[in-house]
Chain A
Amino acid sequence: MMLNNWKGLVPTLAVGAVVVLGVTGCSTGGSGGDGGGDAGGDTIKIGVLATSEGNLAFGMGEAKAAIAVAMEAIGGTVDGGEIGGKSIEIIYAGTDGTSGSAQTQVKKLVENDDVDIVFGPVSGDEGEAVVQYALTVPEVTFVNGSASPVGMTLEGAENFFRFHGDSAMWMGGLGDYAYDEKGYKKIYSIAEDYSFPYDNAGGFFSEFCAAGGEVNGNSWVPVGTTDYATIIAQIPADTDAVYVGLGGADAASFLSQAVTNGVDLPLVGGSIAVDTTALSGDANIASAAVGTITGGPVPGAGYDNPEWQPFVDAYVTQPDAFPSPSIFSILYYNSFQSLVLGLQEVDGDLSDGHAGLRDALGSLDWNSPTGQISMDENRQAIVDNFLIEVLDEGGTLVQKNISEASGVTQGTTVYDRFEGCP
């Protein structure tokens, strides 16, 4: 009778496992729907994609904080408001950071929720999936969240806009700085095995190698790797510095294990490695992070743009906000505010297949909290970029600006996984 029904157990287990996978976002999306919202109506539906599970599970909280800051400034809330007499309804869809789950959720937003505009996603692989989907639904306008592979704006999707730099742009200047100023000759690379770190590390190492530097080994680890003891043991003895192309929980794991495994090499961080999302965890990582240099769209302490402090002040009042805005909230804010400005310019008019809105978005030029944002012909932003060093000032970690570059434009080199120099 009960308990010994071993034969029935295996199929049950299989069904259970399938259900787990299905529910956590690996299933295919719902069908139906006619795509595209009601352009002539009085409501504009914006569907937001952000990560709510996995390595970047804080993404949804950061997205909501950023959107709330932008919406509250025009009298709205995190769930919507009003622009040009049209009411704005914001619908959120959580993903786990994989392309499969992004695909499921973006389809749900467009086909079931009937949104006019898709806003997001967070991670690079998701971004590539969403761009491919954008090509199939030209009647919907897509504004990127924080996904930053180089190739996304080179796919020719006329309805896709990115209001921040790509991940190769973020590393601009860091390779020369590491070689010339820091004197690093040999760097070992540890990075996650997906599109964002390919471009992020590619941008850094192409410059570092051109300056004369050498890559003395690469470890491409699966996203979600928590045990770095073996990877750390691979680092050759004559290494000058370690490039850490990890983000979120993976970065925090690596940094804390670098402490317990006695790594005393200086680090070069990818754009999300020493972000506030990694540093705010409780892991004891301060001693590993000090001295790290990195590049990206997040300005360090002492940044003097007058738009910056008001944004930070508005951000920290949001529920679940980090002590300072993360790279994700900054990119989501800049992108959402760009969308708001575009909608304001056309008074929420989405007629004629969003033609007016797309013209407005494509020619936007405004001073964001992190500097001037303008657009190139691929609907890719031209932005300011920052080089940062993590310093220990009296026990607290401070990210100090080394330099800032303005008007950084996109290159056209798309990086793939590489061994040695890219």
Chain B
Amino acid sequence: MDQFLLIALNGLTLAAVYFLVASGLTLIFGLMRVITMAHGTSYLLGGYIGYVIARETGNWLLGALGAAIAVGVLGLIIHQVLIRRFQDDDMRVALVTLGVSLIGTDLMLAVFGGTATQVAIPAAFQVGLPLPGLGSYPLIRLLILLVAVLVGVGLTLFINKTRYGSIVRAGVDDSQMTSATGVNVRVVFASIFFLGSALAGFAGVVGGTLFPLLPGQDGSYLLFSLVVVIVGGMGSVPGAAIGAALVGIVSQFALVYAPTYSLVLTFALMVVVLAIRPQGILGRRSAT
């Protein structure tokens, strides 16, 4: 039973990282319907930027903030220069962002090399916290879970409860009508692209604290966050949270009980969910 709880908790804390990456994608891909293949690249770049800042200043928070802003601004530039004019041409956007991600991956390999690096945290956080029934559990994983919950709640409230959030949703559903009411839809979309990219950069720092940063992580995180967004339901932040929890828990249990098939089972989860609920667990039926 202890074992079961421990694996479940490991799955949830891993899910926290997946959720943070996927929350950005759920804005860009799920909500705005822009197919970005560069989201994993944003994750890895954010991790590397956070790593450099944290190493130079010794301040993890500064690293996380710096990475979020830098990757957010870069995402904004990519959106304005490369994506905006083709935004309604899915195939072109996918290929453009794919190109960006391939170039970015090679540039990062050239600059940061092929060995694993990790974002440093103060030694005070590298301790175990006694949990009833589980013994000692790494404090850092619990903190990351907490951060993910805060981001998730904040994002849900922002999209569903604020005026700006409703403008975003209106803009996505009918951009012409929303423009007609006097809203500058272009600015709204640009800001969401900034936020989505910034979240990916922030997730890179959080993920890079727990796991290594190295070439190839960009591809895996793109894939996992796509699975999370699709399983959870396009554009739904609570859906992404549920999707991330499912993916995290399935992958951790699979690692123990069927290690050879852990990747297969993770994707089987997506297949099963899509077969039963094509729109994802909390997804809306297609509007048109």
A residues in contact (CB < 8 Å) with B: 1-9, 12-13, 15-17, 19-20, 23-24, 51-61, 96, 193, 219-222, 224-227, 229-231, 233-234, 248-249, 252-253, 256-257, 259-262, 277-278, 280-284, 320
The answer for the CA separation of A61 and B115 in the assembled complex, in Å, is: 10
Of all chain A residues, the one with the shortest Cβ separation from B91 is A12
A54 neighbours in B (Cβ, 8 Å) = 215-216
Looking across the interface, which residue of chain A has its beta carbon closest to that of B8?
A: A230
22 A-B pairs in the complex with CB atoms less than 8 angstroms apart: A3-B32, A3-B33, A3-B88, A3-B172, A4-B286, A6-B286, A8-B90, A9-B35, A13-B94, A17-B223, A24-B219, A55-B214, A55-B216, A226-B217, A229-B141, A249-B212, A253-B116, A257-B138, A259-B126, A278-B116, A281-B116, A283-B118
Known: A16-B98, A256-B118, A277-B115. A249 touches B7 (CB 8 A): no
Closest to B141 in A: A229
For A193, A231, A233, A252, which residue has the most chain B Cβ atoms within 10 angstroms? Answer: A233
Q: Does B107 have its Cβ within 8 Å of any Cβ on chain A?
A: no
- One digit per residue, 1 when the CB lies within 8 angstroms of any chain A CB and 0 when it does not, for chain B 194-217 equals 000000000000000011101111
- List chain B residues, Cβ under 8 A from A261: 128, 138
CB distance from A267 to the nearest CB of B (A): 18
Q: Judging by beta carbons under 8 Å apart, are A20 and B175 in contact?
A: no
Contact in complex: B114, A6 (CB < 8 Å): no
User: CA–CA, A16 to B90, complex, Å?
Assistant: 10
B154 at interface, CB cutoff 8 A? no
- Given A4-B287, A9-B33, A55-B216, decide whether A227 and B95 contact each other with a Cβ distance below 8 A: no
Tell me which residues across on chain B come within 8 A of A16, comparing CB atoms. Answer: 35, 37, 94-95, 98
**Closest Cβ–Cβ distance, residue B268 to chain A (whole Å):** 15
User: With a CB–CB cut-off of 8 A, which chain B residues contact A15?
Assistant: 91, 94
- Residues in B whose Cβ lies below 8 Å from that of A52: 109, 114, 215
Nearest chain-B residue to A54 (Cβ)?
A: B216
Sorted nearest first, the 10 A-B pairs with minimum C-beta distance are A57-B114, A2-B88, A58-B114, A249-B116, A16-B94, A226-B211, A12-B90, A6-B286, A57-B215, A283-B118
Count of B interface residues, CB-CB < 8 Å: 62
Whether B255 and A225, one on each chain, are in contact in the complex, defined by CB atoms closer than 8 angstroms, is yes
Evaluate contact between B255 and A320: CB separation under 8 angstroms. Answer: no
Q: Given A5-B288, A12-B91, list of 18 further CB < 8 A pairs?
A: A1-B88, A2-B87, A2-B175, A3-B33, A12-B94, A16-B98, A17-B226, A19-B94, A19-B98, A23-B98, A51-B114, A55-B214, A61-B113, A233-B3, A252-B116, A256-B118, A260-B138, A282-B118
**Can you name the residue of chain A whose Cβ is closest to the Cβ of B138?**
A260
Secondary structure call for the B interface: helix
Contact B120 A282 (CB under 8 A): yes
Q: How far is the CB of A391 from chain B (nearest CB, A)?
A: 22
Chain A neighbourhood of B162, CB < 8 A: none
Interface check B166, CB cutoff 8 A: no
Residues of B within 8 A of A277 (CB): 115
CA distance A247 to B223 in the complex (A): 23
* Contact call A20/B37, Cβ cutoff below 8 A: yes
Instruction: For the complex formed, measure the closest distance between the CB of A245 and the CB atoms of chain B, giving whole angstroms.
Output: 13
Quick check: A227 and B14 within 8 Å, CB to CB? yes
Give Cα A320 to B109, complex, Å.
11
Q: How far is the CB of A226 from chain B (nearest CB, A)?
A: 4
CB contacts (< 8 Å) of B55 on chain A: these are 282
Q: Knowing A6-B287, A12-B94 are in contact, say whether A260-B140 is a contact too (CB < 8 A).
A: yes
B252 touches A1 (CB 8 A): no
B191 CB-CB contact with A under 8 Å: no
B3 neighbours in A (Cβ, 8 Å): 233
B171 to chain A, nearest CB (A): 9
Q: How far is the CA of A16 from the CA of B220 in the complex (A)?
A: 15
Residue B117 is within 8 A (CB to CB) of chain A in the complex: yes
A226 to B211, CA, bound (A): 6
Q: Among A2, A9, A53, A252, which residue has its beta carbon within 8 angstroms of that of B216?
A: A53
The one of B51, B90, B138, B173 that contacts A9, using a Cβ cutoff of 8 Å: B90
Residues of B within 8 A of A4 (CB): 33, 172-173, 286-288
Which B residues, 1 to 60, have Cβ-Cβ distances below 8 Å to chain A? 3, 6-7, 10-11, 13-14, 32-33, 35, 37, 51, 55
B176 on interface, CB distance cutoff 8 Å: yes
Tell whether A227 pairs with B212 under 8 Å between CB atoms, given A2-B88, A16-B94, A58-B114: no
CB distance from A349 to the nearest CB of B (A): 37
Chain A residue nearest to B211 (CB atoms) is A226
User: Which of A7, A24, A59, A227 touches B114 (beta carbons < 8 Å)?
Assistant: A59
Cβ-neighbour of A230 out of B7, B90, B128, B216 (below 8 A): B7
Tell which of A8, A221, A252 touches B212, judged by Cβ atoms closer than 8 Å. Answer: A252
Q: Which residues of B contact A59 (CB under 8 A)?
A: 114
With A and B bound together, what is the CA distance between A2 and B215 in angstroms?
34
Residue contact A3 to B175, C-beta cutoff 8 Å: yes
Query: Is residue B272 contacting chain A, with contact meaning CB distance below 8 A?
Result: no
Bound Cα distance from A257 to B128, whole angstroms:
11
Interface centre among A23, A96, A222, A277, by most B CB within 10 Å?
A222
What is the bound-complex CA distance between A284 and B222, given in angstroms?
Answer: 27
Q: How far is the CA of A56 from the CA of B115 in the complex (A)?
A: 8
A1-B176, A231-B255 given as contacts; is B214 within 8 A of A284 (CB)? no
Which B residue sits closest to A322, measured CB to CB? B115
Chain B residue with Cβ nearest A58 = B114
Interface status of B181 (Cβ within 8 A of chain A): no
B69 within 8 A of A: no
